[in-house]
Structure 1
């Protein structure tokens, strides 16, 4: 819970939230109580010592450090999501040497590297997948940035991942409205991860969807 005991050691908002929702009959109450119980269960795992000293002091670095400790705590977590913002670069994108994109990419790379270093032997059972809700166009706008686009990229790291590039590069010349052409449905990639790394049916996760073979995971 963001802010709990972060600045004031007498600030016990977790306890306050629990008391507030303990006897509530709201439709939200069961989910809230379940979430509060999960926070308590994760506590000992979060209290573990961080192994890697290479995590950036960024939000992403701190989040992946917490995820690593949760995984190493072996409390039964199977899927964990992390959000990293500030990629919506309509202005001041920069170059490969400086700018917002360079800073974000550097933070991302160092955070992921530290994450797998921190996991240690537990890395053998972890698959990390990145996906964005939208891409960028390929022509610079008037603010030295890139506007929203269709085509995007996904990165896969860790257990079960085949190395190399997967997909079809359609080039830049015939793109519509300065967009990258979409050639692979992201659900096809995620379907391979679900099929090889979980016991869940892909039809349950993506109903009425027929995935194409991407070949991003071993055994597919």
Structure 2
């Protein structure tokens, strides 16, 4: 059983380790081993309701091609039960990767990935969590994070489901700080689940010295990147 996108799934959709491409080389994209690929924002396919109701399990092996920006441009089904083909293809298309680079130059790449669909004990998924509130109103002065004097109060945990799937991420957010230097809101700029929930989990990841302007402490916003890298 794994959780993803703020859901606690009552069945598991596990992303297995991508496999090295086999057979004849593709023309154009660079064939790479899965260890050379880093995932930026991993999308897990939803377990099809029809398959879940029929207690069906299966593996869906697909070949992905990503462009120089790390965007999926093509998904080819290699082997996959028909019940899981559509959701696996859509998840692969929606997943973002860090660009594959050769001598520092981004290139197109091709590799194989396998989605594993396994049923859990519970019959249906739990309800999703409510959407995060919008950023607070008011005038916030934008600063660079290094301009602030901040101390880290709480360690942001690495999401266990992402660790198990070998997923890494650079989670870029905008921090809203009140006049007392307390983080009151975290807005996602380039950060997907489950990393965003992990970043928002500590009520106070940082405490910063108040920013004083014209003799008065003011609220500020600052961009910050939480890096989740597997050791």
TM-score relative to the length of structure 2: 0.24
More helix by share: 1
**RCO higher in structure (CA 8 A, sep ≥6):** 2
TM-score relative to the length of structure 1: 0.25
